[in-house]
Every structure is written in C-alpha cells, then in structure tokens.
Amino acid sequence: MKYLKKFETQADYEAAQSGLILPNVSLITETNGVAYSPYIDPCKQYDYVEIGGIKWATKNVGACNVTDTGLYFQWGDTSGYTASQVGTDKIFDWANYKYCDGTHSNMTKYNSTDGKTILDLSDDAARTNWGGNWRMPTIDEVQVLKNAITSAWTSDYNDSGVAGLICTDKTDSSKVLFFPACGFANGNGVWEVNTKCNYWTSSLDTMYLNSAYEFVLHDNGGYWQWSSWRQSGFQVRGVLDE
C-alpha cells in the first residue's frame, strides 16, 4: 500500500526526512499544490560534446560531475577503483594485473599469439560500466581531438578548486571538454594529482606488448600520445558511437 503524507511547510518536510522512505522522485512545491518530477541520478547521466566528428563524454567513467576524479583502471580491466581504494582494495602492479602471469614479460591476452591490438568491448571500461554504445577512444581518435581544439591549463576550473586541461573546439567555442588532473595510480598510491591527467586509450602498443597507449595532459603542455605499462591505473574518458 502507498501513502502520501502532506507537510504544511518545507521545514516540516525536511525535519521528517530521517523517518521517511522516499520514492525515486524529487519534490517541487508550487503556489497551488505539489508537483512531482522523476529523479535522475547524475552519476548515471552520460552527456557528450562532439568535437572533430567524435562524441566525447563530458566526464570520466565513475564520475558524477565534470570535475570528479572517477575511477582508476588498469588497461583491459573493467573494475575501477577510487583514490581511497588504491593500496587497500587494489594494488596497481603486475602481480594484480589480470592479463599477465604476474610479471611484465608474459601477457596472457593482447599478445603476439592472439594478435589483438584494440581492446575487446568486454574488456572496455567505458562499455562495461556505461553500456550503450560507449567505448574507450583509440589513439587515432585522441589525435583527432588534439588537432581540433585549443587547450589551456587551469588550476581552478569554474571556481571548483579542481585543476586540469580545458579543451575548446577551434570552430565552435561553445564546445568545451574538461579533463581533471587526477594523476595516476601505481603500486599502493596515487601520484601527481593536480599536475597530470592520465587517460587510457583502447590501443595496444604493438612494439611493447606489455604497454598500451594513453594520453597525458599536464600543466607544462602534455603528451597527447604516450605508451605506459598496462598495470598502471589511469582514468577512462569514453566516446559514443551512434
């Protein structure tokens, strides 16, 4: 059975919160009554900005807002971890990487035997965490983004206190992406927060099979193409196929 309880004032409503089981709606008070609108969880809303013909997510996988850190992922692992979990729930090293034999010398997938050079969608953190047609970008798509934007580093994006890189479309200044400087996870810790943005692509480094391509953005300019060990913990920023 469902009940609707009426409160005479907003203060009465707020005072009763601890004793209520609230439905998945938001409450809007109006002059002549009460209206309900569906509640949408911002952590499950995924928007994009199209730049250079590619639809880029406006936030990191695992983030609720544009300035949130999101989750750290090893390359090819779809389980992500918050900064507070690094070193406790997850150690970012070869012994804890799913696609090797415990060392950097023998990769058990994405290797010379299987010949795979792009992550399968089942190993793609954007697809498995967000669903739909989201996926991780290739290194070629990162280069398209680089060529289509002007970039500027900020230590305080929109008064949020978050540092990172602002990327603005060269042909349409209303199209902006922000990459927060979340640093990277390695071993038991998270390093270079507020000075570097480390983001995985879905592209394997075919010269060094224990490595994959990332794009690194930092306060001194940045490398838009870099190869790093697959056991490292980086952020993921998805692109959308439609």
Across the range 214-222, mean pLDDT stands at: 83
- Gap between the Cα atoms of 209 and 216, Å rounded: 19
Across the range 134-138, mean pLDDT stands at: 98
Which pLDDT band holds residue 2 (cuts at 50, 70, 90)?
very low
* Highest-confidence segment of 16-20, 36-40, 207-211, 223-227: 207-211
Domain boundaries, the chain: 42-240
Note the pLDDT tens digit of each residue in 73-88. 999 999 999 999 999 9
Amino acid 13: pLDDT = 53
Amino acid 26: pLDDT = 47
Across the range 191-214, mean pLDDT stands at: 97
Assess whether pLDDT exceeds 60 at residue 10: no
Note the pLDDT tens digit of each residue in 137-185. 999 999 999 999 999 999 999 999 999 999 999 999 999 999 999 999 9
Note the pLDDT tens digit of each residue in 92-127. 999 999 999 999 999 999 999 999 999 999 999 999
Across the range 182-197, mean pLDDT stands at: 96
